Structure 1
């Protein structure tokens, strides 16, 4: 999920956008000679519309059992529910519920529980059937923090990135059963990441990939393999590209998908058996993705959040196009 960006940096990053008034073309409409060898034919459509004129969506999660999608507002913490067959999403949890001011990372676990991160307070877990708050996890210590994305591990626990502290916290299954508690720092990458400015945001998207976790440093453009069993940290070899500005991640069946927000890009990578290397297979870059912050894959379709952070949001001035939407990307 995306933290704040400076307007100047955004303007530079978006300098490849189309001229004003030009209609964004789908990747499949561009001439083959204009595309890199990994650029693909893909169809981008609007899957869901989110009610409200200041939504600025951040996270998205799919319930693998039902196909229902949940999206969160970075602006005020509202959680939306999108049901297959209905284009208009509905409010699932209102703004400010349980003290939540933002909604960044979202995940639905195998038991149908919805996990939601708030950038300053921590993590909340809800029953998707009753909307009841099941557990709350708080950030340890005082001072700056930015609780960002999370991954659900095979043991039912969760791992949560902090983009300011460069730490990955753990919420244990025992804590979940007891109604929550304090997040426990499990991986400290502050001495491992590439050099960066003191106020830079680092760790962002994180996914469970077999017995390992994969977490991305959006500023350094690197990917890291984390071993929950040993606490080991290893930089992953990137073959064919980098992950600069990488935001949310998705992992299924040996492949990793990433959104790179300010370049309006989605990439697909083949992950080695031991998670020590990834190879770029496909890339889709399209301005109609409108600064994508994360994605979820269900039924062969990628559901990509169009944050519009550069249009009057945290990344720049302007007026957003409404309604805010979740895109469906097929062919990637």
Structure 2
């Protein structure tokens, strides 16, 4: 699939999904999980998928999600125009929290709420902006400078308040520290470059996608969605290593979430699949323990596990996304999954 410069620059999420699909056996609706035939995992026959809440608007194409663990409020970002939605506990319909174009934002990809109630929102075409969740006031903004193509994708935050962001084109991880945040903004500089660690793939355009932090702040995990591999970044030594995966792979891996008990949940977008993995104590190994594939996930892009439930973004990028929207009204929702 040949992409114009404009498409690669401005609509990479849709391109990422299309390119990921080309690495699998088929591009139609998925009927099998992205694991090999000899995988030693169990399916999730008793998992239940329902709708948690609806997003207002007919051209939303959501991509990012974050939950505030203190309040239970959930935030969702639109890839189409950068709108950020908010859903309060018990509500069945979201409301607009940050309107489209706020602070010049064109997309809202990765979202995360830190321990101090600050909402981090990435814009693939620019960088990341930080907001106060109570007032919506902008607290800081960090941008990628230069004309080299980039795609700022997902964000993870360690217990000390440091944020780490993936770049899916440059294959680097940016870092924003607490002191940098206090200045109100600046330039994003790579902290870790994974280029040399990636498996060579002809015509590779994209790489790193989801990222998550060890709850104790020892390491990061980030997924290479094209090769289906998971990488560990040691935050003490800076060492970057490939995580040993047992029972499957992370092809089409998008958003990932690591819990305090070592459970790693992964979204596989074009195959409409969710997987659950058990990581060992230091995050160097992960074993696939459960897989759920269901068309009702509608091309999931990420998830958040909060208060005993897993919320999954239904992007519906298979309907064209903001680049190829056919103009038909579409209802966009966030799924709730139990039993994964």
| Aligned residues of 1:70 and 1:80 also touching (Cα < 8 A) | yes
Cα-to-partner distance string for 1:71-122 (whole Å, 9 max, x where unaligned)? 0000000000011111010000000000100000000000000000000110
Report if aligned partners of 2:20, 2:226 keep a CA contact under 8 Å in 1.
no
Q: Which residue of 1 aligns with 2:15?
A: 4
Residues 1:222 and 2:229 aligned together: yes
- Show the 5 A alignment for 1:318-329: 322-329=330-337
Change (3 A) 1:112 1:320: farther
1:234 matched to 2:241: yes
Task: Tell me, in whole angstroms, the C-alpha distance in 2 between the residues paired with 1:236 and 1:6.
Answer: 23
Aligned to 2:53: 48
| Cross-structure match for 1:32 | none
Cα offsets for 1:196-242 (capped at 9, x unmatched)? 24452100000001310000000010000001222110000000000
CA contact (8 A) 2:41 2:247 kept: no
Tell me what 1:158 maps to: 163
TM-score by length of 2: 0.88
Deviations 1:290-332 (A, max 9, x none): 0000000111110000000010216866566732000000111
Name 1:15's counterpart in structure 2: 28
How many Å apart are 1:184 and its aligned residue?
Answer: 2.2
Whole-Å separation in 1 of the counterparts to 2:85 and 2:268: 23
What is the TM-score of this pair, normalised by structure 1? Answer: 0.90
Instruction: Give unmatched runs, 5+ long, in structure 1.
Output: 19-26, 28-34
Q: Cα distance 1:237–1:36, how it changes in 2: closer, same or farther (>3 A)?
A: closer
The 1-side partners of 2:322 and 2:17 are apart by 8
Tell me: CA distance 1:224–1:10, structure 2 relative to 1, closer, same or farther (3 Å). Answer: closer
CA distance in 2, matches of 1:64, 1:6: 30
1:39 to 40, 43, 48: 43
Taking a change above 3 Å as real, the CA distance of residues 317 and 98 of structure 1, as seen in their structure-2 partners, is closer
Paired residue total: 317
2:317 is the counterpart of 1:309: yes
2:219 is aligned with 1:212:
yes
- Are 2:183 and 1:178 equivalent residues in the alignment? yes
Aligned partners of 1:276, 1:167: CA distance in 2, in Å? 20
Q: Which residue in the other structure is 1:275 paired with?
A: 283
Mapping 1:35-184, distance limit 5 Å: 37-40=41-44, 41-184=46-189
In the TM superposition, structure 1's runs of 4+ consecutive aligned residues that sit over 6 Å from their partners are: none
Native 8 Å contact 1:311 1:320 kept in 2: no
Q: CA contact under 8 A between 2:168 and 2:208: conserved in structure 1?
A: yes
In 2, are the aligned partners of 1:117 and 1:148 still within 8 Å (CA)? yes
Q: Distance in 2 between matches of 1:64 and 1:108?
A: 8
CA contact (8 A) 1:42 1:331 kept: yes
Moved more, 307-316 or 199-208: 307-316
Residues 189 and 17 of structure 1: CA distance in aligned 2, closer, same or farther (over 3 Å) = closer
